[in-house]
Structure 1
Amino acid sequence: MARSGLTRMDVKRARDALLAQGQHTSIDAIRIALGNTGSKTTIHRYLKELEEEEGASLTRAGSLSDAIQDLVARLAARLHEEAQALVDEQATASAAQRQQAQAEMAKLAADRAALQAQFTAAGAALSSEQDAHADARLTLHRRDLDVERLTQQVRDQTARLAEQENFRQSLEEKLVHARDALEHFRTASREQREQEARRHEQQVQQLQAELRQANQSAIVRQNEITQLNKDNARLIAETGALARQLHEQQALGERLQTTLNQALADVARSDAGQEAMRTTLDTHVEELAHARETLASLTAERAHLAAQIDAQQLLLAEYRARPGIEGTPGPSRQISHQKDTAS
């Protein structure tokens, strides 16, 4: 856009500068020297006015003396020489600046090529790093799934362990009850055996007393039979009576023997009941041992799962330590909290 307020003096200074540099004073050159400002019409008008004034000045100069004209010619030549020297100096400086600018441009071009190569390499490295990051995220996701699966297994094993612990406690309570029952049965059996032994002893003593009484009666009867041998009729009658009494005594002895056998059978049955209780107790003891073995197996399996979780967490920490995936969210704190709860 044309600059407002362009004066004839500005145009004159631009023209004189071009003349001093030995360049043609065209309208475009003057406009470029003015910084691409001003309209061409205005510049042309001012140039025309300057030429008219200089023509009039030259006309007036014709009337001057030759000495003055010679002085003016010499001054003009001197000015032209000085202007030419200034122009040459500025041309040399401009050429040096142009060479320096070209060198800087070449350096900038080389730097640009190097930066372009670095950018290309950085782009390739970024693409490779993005691929590696994607693979690491996929691997991390798989590890998270493995950790979640192992954590669920630990929770299941913990639940099974709790069930086994409850079952073991139940067996121990049953064992305590069985021991109490066995002790009670032993006490009752001992008391019953003592009672049966006392009753048997009383029965034996009673049988012995009856046997002694029977023996005494037999001796008495035998004496009577001996004494009654003299009387055949009474002997026969008394012999028959004694035979019947002897038969009754034998029947009584058989009944007493049966009672004794029954008492012995009762004692044997008591021993058999105690043996059955012992068998039941042994069965409970075996069940308790089996439960303890199961508990030990579950404890070992839980330790194995804890070791697997530690290994997974270590692998997870190694993946997170790699560049590009340190900030990737993970369930480490949750895995750590769940692992402490399972332990």
Structure 2
Amino acid sequence: MARSGINKAQVQCARDALLARGLVPSIEAVRTELGHTGSKTTINRYLRELADAEPQPPRVSLSEELQAFIQSVAARLAREAQDSVAADRARLEHQQAAYQQQRAVDSARFEQLQIAHTAQGDEYRVLSQREVELNSQLQRIEGERQRLEEACRQQVKLLEERLGQIRSLEMKHQQAREAMSHYREQHQIQRQEELQRHAEQMGQAQIEMRGLREQLTVRQEELTQLYRDLERTNSAHGHLQQQLRQLERQVALTQQQRVSQDAALAKSRQDGETMASDLAAQHEKAKYYLLAHRQDQRLIRAQAKQINRLQAFMHLAQIDHPGP
């Protein structure tokens, strides 16, 4: 019995394929063509039916010479068919060898592409880590800049308060001068020596006040220079941020552009270090300014105490020598 799925049409297709390749459609050949399926009895029955269905040429009697000629022609055709099959087989083997070689080349190229892709991924991760480090450094620099700006604002506020104190001292000094002038007019004969000593003390106080004004002018110039340095620092910071944005755009480019990105990163790092040194210098200037300001405050307090002593002395002198 034939297996399930084997029919006459399949046997006919297998036989035609064998005939097309120049092979004899035997039972074994047909069964092999069908994938080693189907019983030989069924295949033989279908082959007989197909052979019976084909038109048969009329039988004629041939002489032995004609039969020998036909056999030689058939043998020649068989040899030519075998030669053609051998050539086709050699060509097929050559194509298969070329295909295997091309496949090996493609596999090697695929492995190289995978290695290159992995290397590019590693480079991208390294660049991303560098970008994170630069962003962190910029944040630290920005915090330091804001802290310096706050310190500068505090210094400006202290300077304004100091100017107010100096104006108040000048007003008190002017009042003291007026009082002393009036006192000289009232007691020029009795208190000439004391007034002269007082005038010398007031002259010394004026000299000290001028010195304080000059110091204040110097501090204001230093503060102006500090503001200019901060503006340059802000400009450098904006330039560095612009370079970082350019670096972010260049990260998505090809491997050839990563060389320029590394150079840009190195320059950005150098700029960041330069900015850090500038900020450290500004910090030292601000520290020096604070120390000088504290010294000026001590001088102002001492001057105020001296003026208070002079006022108390004048008040006592008025009590001791009242006017007419």
Name the counterpart of 1:40.
38
Alignment of 1:5-16 (within 5 A): 6-7=7-8, 11=11, 14-15=14-15
Q: Deviation per CA, 1:60-103: give whole Å up to 9, x if none.
A: x9xxxxx95427x989x979968985x77776665555444434
Shift of 1:154: 1.0
Name the counterpart of 2:130.
139
Provide the rounded CA distance (Å) in 2 between the counterparts of 1:50 and 1:126.
60
In structure 2, do the counterparts of structure 1 residues 106 and 297 end up closer, same or farther at CA, with 3 Å as the change threshold? same
Instruction: Considering Cα pairs closer than 8 Å and 6+ residues apart, tell me whether 1 or 2 has the greater RCO.
Output: 1
Alignment of 1:149-298 (within 5 A): 149-193=140-184, 195-196=185-186, 260=189, 262-265=190-193, 267-268=195-196, 271-272=199-200, 274-275=202-203, 277-279=205-207, 281-282=209-210, 284-292=212-220, 294-296=222-224, 298=226
- Larger Rg: 1 or 2? 1
Shift of 1:113: 2.8
Q: Deviation per CA, 1:204-226: give whole Å up to 9, x if none.
A: xxxxxxxxxxxxxxxxxxxxxxx
Any stretches of 5+ residues in structure 2 without a counterpart?
262-267, 269-274, 280-324
Provide the rounded CA distance (Å) in 1 between the counterparts of 2:12 and 2:71.
17
Provide the rounded CA distance (Å) in 2 between the counterparts of 1:53 and 1:137.
75
Root-mean-square deviation (CA, aligned residues, Å) is: 4.9
Match of 1:70, SS state, is coil
Q: Deviation per CA, 1:1-51: give whole Å up to 9, x if none.
A: x674712x7546755764783436124x21344x438x523x523514765
Shift of 1:307: 6.7
Provide the rounded CA distance (Å) in 2 between the counterparts of 1:123 and 1:19.
48
1:299 corresponds to 2:227: yes
Provide the rounded CA distance (Å) in 1 between the counterparts of 2:104 and 2:244.
42
In structure 2, do the counterparts of structure 1 residues 90 and 160 end up closer, same or farther at CA, with 3 Å as the change threshold? farther
Q: Contact between 1:15 and 1:30, CA under 8 Å: does it hold in 2? A: yes
Provide the rounded CA distance (Å) in 2 between the counterparts of 1:146 and 1:103.
64
Provide the rounded CA distance (Å) in 1 between the counterparts of 2:157 and 2:50.
125
In structure 2, do the counterparts of structure 1 residues 128 and 15 end up closer, same or farther at CA, with 3 Å as the change threshold? closer
Provide the rounded CA distance (Å) in 2 between the counterparts of 1:272 and 1:100.
125
Name the counterpart of 2:288.
none
Name the counterpart of 1:26.
27
Q: How many residues align?
A: 249
Provide the rounded CA distance (Å) in 1 between the counterparts of 2:11 and 2:142.
90
Name the counterpart of 1:256.
none
Give the aligned residue type for 2:38.
K
1:116 corresponds to 2:44: no
**TM-score with structure 2 length normalisation?**
0.55
Greater than 6 Å deviation, 4+ residue runs: 52-55, 77-84, 87-90
In structure 2, do the counterparts of structure 1 residues 290 and 103 end up closer, same or farther at CA, with 3 Å as the change threshold? same
In structure 2, do the counterparts of structure 1 residues 182 and 107 end up closer, same or farther at CA, with 3 Å as the change threshold? farther
Provide the rounded CA distance (Å) in 2 between the counterparts of 1:184 and 1:53.
143
Match of 1:40, SS state, is coil
Alignment of 1:62-81 (within 5 A): 68-70=59-61
Percent of matched pairs sharing the same residue? 16
Q: Deviation per CA, 1:100-135: give whole Å up to 9, x if none.
A: 443433333333233233233333333433443343
